[in-house]
Amino acid sequence: MMEKIDHRPDNSFVNVRITLIVIAIVSFPFNLIGIFTENAQTASINQLVAIIITDLFFAVYLTVIYFAMLIIVGAVGKHVVCVYGNLACLVSGLFHAYATLVAAMDRYKAYIARISRPKSVALCPSCSRKSNYHITDEDQETGVAVLASPELIDAESESLVGGGSTPFRASEDTATPRLGTYVRNIQLERSPSLRYEVVESYQLRRAERVLELDDLLRLEEAIIQLGFESVEKQEKILNILLQDPATMDDNDPRSPFLAQALAALLVFISPMLESLSFCPVGYEEPKLLRLEAEADGEPLPITDYVFRHFLKLVCEKNMPFLQNLRAVRFLVDPNTCVYGTSYYQPYDLFSSLNLVRRLPAVDSVHVDAISDTHLPSVEPPPRSGNYTCITIQHSSLHCPYLAYTIESAKRLEKFTYGIGGRFSRNGMLISFHPECVFRALFAHRASLRQLDLDVEGQTRLLDLIGLRYLKYTIEEEEQEQELPRDDPVYLHEWADELEKLPVEEEGIPSNMPVDACSLRSFLQLKDLSIGVHILYLYARGYGGEQRGDPWGDQLIDESYSLVDHLPPNLESLRIYGYKKGMKPRLRGVPQNLLEDQLAKLMAEKDQKLPRLAVIEGIEELIPNGETLEGPGNKDKLWKGEADDEWTEYEYE
């Protein structure tokens, strides 16, 4: 027991010493709390609140003890240790309470700032057997690598894949796991391709992971909320998620289904998702062909493409998912060994468009390095897509594909299409028909604000030499013209939608004069990037009086002026493929046509196009994009964007 010390001046040193000792003793538990709260940012909000309450409780408790001592026996003045000790308790408690509140406010501000930053999730083959859980902040792209991990994201999970971890962990509210609200981007990079084959159906296997009962019930409930009503389908998805990715290699037939199931669940728990990237998610025969096969007694196999079916359900049933998704990027197949990465890869563009075109907030779709597929899906109906921006770059597509894609948008504001940077597998180039694409664009003349066409590297209708060299006949080109939409397969596929769609207007009426069907009609067009020859053709326009003139003989008109036929509100013009003194590739026109027209444009633009502030490609050549030929051009290969590398950064 500590000795009793009288309160005398000569005892001041002793009093100070005892006071410091008492303060140190009383402060010790609070210092421990401070140590633990140093890392409180990694804890949940509930844990942080509990720490604050504990600290405040100690402060209040010690304060009550001090004031209780004041009303005890009058000898309290002689018990210096009690007086100073309890005073120390009061000061220490209040100080730590204040410090904890300040720290809590700082951490709350950091928490608000953190959830406002975009997060992304990548489902990629390279992550398949790893235990990565990397989320980055600040200016770096954020993401979670979870391809083959069957765990849903949860802030309490330290690792998405681990020997003793559970394969699924949900928060108390299954519909909104904590970290799901942070996710802004999801990327699926696992297709149904397995080297040289494609898997369609999933075979049930023995479950490789065991769940706690509560987790199993939550997982089953989440699968039901994905919209799959079939009990058999639900059991398959559950079985897929209970497979262990650590036992899978790159050619395991389970991995495509696991990736798609995870992607569907991640979308399900990510209400703030803004962008989605995915590779081919499987081909399915049109409805009519499936019905006919079933009627013939030879039904087609049922596919188990979970993510594909989930996206279809979201659109068809107006389910409350992907309500904030704005940007969609289609990726080429990263898993096939049939197509080399240096070639245009066959891609079913219609299939991907049909999966996302009806999403309410979707604004843009983007794809690179593709060509026509030999077995395309049914084209989307006209004016049925909510996207307003379409970007197709470094690709080589037949014009009907482009026309159907353009026509699928309800309201098109930006369209980009360019070739080049890839090799052609068969050495043949696909013809680009300027008129076919113009007619599709003309339907959006009231809304189109930005147009970028870099296609003159494979435009055949401009010169005879190119036609002969490429062995491409007039008859073959006529067969490429867009066909009428009266095919039974098309009509049956979209029967319900076609009844609700507005009547499609004729792109260019046959009796409309040429001047009214030119670039001049695009009143909202502000940014134009285009090849020099197609610029001239589009400015000339297309109308009924030119329909019988496939070679453009009627383009000869000495009174014609390019500057008078450009969009009146044009602000920027970028010209591909023009070199001073070059001769035009148009049949029967003066050799100095292009030079004279562009010179007149520069001389009169301030008067006739007052908003045109930027013109590029006249003084300096901007090369056309070109499909590569021969091994010597590998240095011109378009390599695409660098693969995302998740930075190892602690989530704090």
d(CA 525, CA 569): 6
d(CA 242, CA 166): 10
Is the pLDDT at 296 greater than 70? The verdict is: yes
Is the pLDDT at 322 greater than 60? The verdict is: yes
String of DSSP letters for 123-169: E-GGGTT--------TTS---EE-TT--PPP-TT-S-SS-SSS-S--
Is the pLDDT at 488 greater than 90? The verdict is: yes
User: pLDDT tier at 152 (50, 70, 90 boundaries)?
Assistant: very low
The answer to whether residues 74 and 124 belong to one domain is: no
Classify residue 319 as left (phi > 0), alpha (psi -120 to 50) or beta: beta
Residues 6+ apart with CB under 8 A from 275: 120, 184, 185, 186, 325, 326, 327, 328, 329
Give the model's pLDDT for residue 21.
53
The residue among 145, 116, 274, 261 whose CA lies nearest residue 643 is 145
The answer to whether residues 14 and 144 belong to one domain is: no
3-class SS at 515?
helix
Model confidence, pTM: 0.73
pLDDT tens digits for range 50-107: 656 665 666 666 566 656 655 554 444 545 555 555 566 566 666 666 666 776 676 6
The residue among 569, 535, 540 whose CA lies nearest residue 554 is 540
User: pLDDT tier at 40 (50, 70, 90 boundaries)?
Assistant: very low
User: pLDDT tier at 19 (50, 70, 90 boundaries)?
Assistant: low
The answer to whether residues 145 and 109 belong to one domain is: no
User: pLDDT tier at 168 (50, 70, 90 boundaries)?
Assistant: very low
d(CA 593, CA 582): 9
The residue among 571, 510, 513, 511 whose CA lies nearest residue 541 is 513
Is the pLDDT at 648 greater than 90? The verdict is: no
Residue type, 404: Y
d(CA 149, CA 128): 7
pLDDT tens digits for range 194-247: 877 899 999 999 999 888 888 889 899 999 999 998 999 999 999 999 999 888
pLDDT tens digits for range 266-291: 999 999 999 999 999 999 999 999 99
Q: Of all helices (H) and strands (E), which one includes residue 490? A: helix 488-493
Decide if 266 is inside a domain: yes
Share of the chain above pLDDT 70, in %: 62
The answer to whether residues 126 and 220 belong to one domain is: yes
Give the model's pLDDT for residue 96.
61
User: pLDDT tier at 113 (50, 70, 90 boundaries)?
Assistant: low
Is residue 492 within 8 A of residue 287, CB to CB? The reply is yes
Rg (CA), the chain: 34
Give the model's pLDDT for residue 278.
96
Classify residue 427 as left (phi > 0), alpha (psi -120 to 50) or beta: left
Q: Which of 100, 116, 132 is the last residue of a domain?
A: 116
Q: Which domain holds residue 84?
A: 9-116
Give the model's pLDDT for residue 194.
87
Q: Please state the domain count of the chain.
A: 2
3-class SS at 523?
coil
The answer to whether residues 313 and 336 belong to one domain is: yes
Average pLDDT over residues 105-119: 61
d(CA 151, CA 40): 24
Is the pLDDT at 27 greater than 50? The verdict is: yes
Give the model's pLDDT for residue 32.
52
For 451, which DSSP code?
E
| Higher-confidence position of 471 and 434 | 434
The answer to whether residues 164 and 66 belong to one domain is: no
Share of the chain above pLDDT 90, in %: 45
Q: Which of 86, 116, 146 is the last residue of a domain?
A: 116
d(CA 289, CA 217): 38
Decide if 325 is inside a domain: yes
Is residue 458 within 8 A of residue 422, CB to CB? The reply is no
Mean model confidence pLDDT for the chain: 76
Residue 382 exposed, middle or buried by CB count within 10 Å (0-12, 13-18, 19+): buried
The answer to whether residues 37 and 103 belong to one domain is: yes
Give the model's pLDDT for residue 290.
93
The answer to whether residues 173 and 111 belong to one domain is: no
Decide if 322 is inside a domain: yes
The answer to whether residues 171 and 248 belong to one domain is: yes
Q: Which of 317, 342, 367 is the last residue of a domain?
A: 342
pLDDT tens digits for range 367-393: 999 999 988 999 999 999 999 999 999
Is the pLDDT at 310 greater than 90? The verdict is: yes
The answer to whether residues 111 and 131 belong to one domain is: no
Task: Tokens for 464, please give them.
Answer: 């005879």
The answer to whether residues 168 and 292 belong to one domain is: yes
| Higher-confidence position of 504 and 215 | 215
Residue 126 exposed, middle or buried by CB count within 10 Å (0-12, 13-18, 19+): middle
Instruction: Identify each DSSP E strand in 181-235 by its residue range.
Output: 183-188, 193-194, 197-198
The answer to whether residues 75 and 105 belong to one domain is: yes
Give the model's pLDDT for residue 499.
87
Residue type, 415: F
